[in-house]
Amino acid sequence: GQNIDQPTEMTATEGAIVQINCTYQTSGFNGLFWYQQHAGEAPTFLSYNVLDGLEEKGRFSSFLSRSKGYSYLLLKELQMKDSASYLCAVRQTGGFKTIFGAGTRLFVKA
Amino acid sequence: DTEVTQTPKHLVMGMTNKKSLKCEQHMGHRAMYWYKQKAKKPPELMFVYSYEKLSINESVPSRFSPECPNSSLLNLHLHALQPEDSALYLCASSQIWDPDGNSPLHFGNGTRLTVT
């Protein structure tokens, strides 16, 4: 079967660091993506990992361990505008099919 | 602003109506997608077109009929829908191949569909 698991909700304080975890079991793997989705808006691309290790992009970093089927998204120096849903997504072998996790709703409080 | 444009933003239709959702992108992407998203749920893949040909149909009921007239346009024709088809319909596009191996999906803002 195919499964992508993320926590449903997280709350963090402005200026802090938060880590959103994702575990996956999918038939075939060709990269893991993180997307941000504000309420009522389209998902927007944040990061991509296909090899093990850490990818850093400004305040956002993403980590992948393929052997463990595990990824996390790290958000630093949280801002109120970071309050959104964060979707973990796995692209399957073949290139066109991307499966999304249910998303983690992050609430950033002052 | 998103580079993938979807129209209309909102659509209310009866179960006997026929309507179409439209999507347009000018990024030169040759893969285009339809996703369906219910509230507080992840996007679910419906269809994929690559080079204007249907590559993936995720066993979607025939009341949804996709069309890709050219490399920039993607339509979704709707007929005899059910109330449970009410959802946000997202169009996305991507490169077929990216030098970085990346090829993320670029989503439009979606059409919020209500079937009465």
Contact A48 B109 (CB under 8 A): no
Q: Which residue of A has its CA nearest to B32?
A: A96
Contact B42 A50 (CB under 8 A): no
Q: For B18-62, how does the pLDDT look when each residue is reduced to its tens digit (9 = 90+)?
A: 999 999 999 999 999 999 999 888 899 999 999 999 999 999 999
Q: Encoding tokens for residue A68?
A: 């463990």
Rounded to the nearest angstrom, the minimum Cα separation between A39 and chain B is 9
Contacts of A41 in chain B (CB under 8 A): 109
Average pLDDT (A5-29) is 95
- In the predicted model, what is the mean pLDDT of chain B? 93
CA A45, CA A35: separation in Å to the nearest integer? 5
Contact A96 B50 (CB under 8 A): yes
Band (pLDDT 50/70/90 cuts) for residue B99 is low
CA A6, CA A33: separation in Å to the nearest integer? 13
Q: Which residue of A has its CA nearest to B90?
A: A42
**Per-residue model confidence (pLDDT) at position A94:** 74
Residue with tokens 């129209």: B7
**Per-residue model confidence (pLDDT) at position B67:** 97
Contact B55 A96 (CB under 8 A): yes
Mapped onto helix, strand or coil, the DSSP state of residue B98 is coil
Task: Please give the full DSSP string across chain A, using - where no structure is assigned.
Answer: --EEE--SEEEEETT--EEEEEEEE-SS-S-EEEEEE-TTS--EEEEEE-SSEEEEETTEEEEEETTTTEEEEEE-S--GGG-EEEEEEEEPTTSS-EEE---EEEEEE-
Q: Considering chain B, what percentage of its residues have pLDDT values greater than 90?
A: 84
Q: For A21-58, how does the pLDDT look when each residue is reduced to its tens digit (9 = 90+)?
A: 999 998 888 899 999 999 888 899 999 999 999 999 89
CA B107, CA B102: separation in Å to the nearest integer? 15
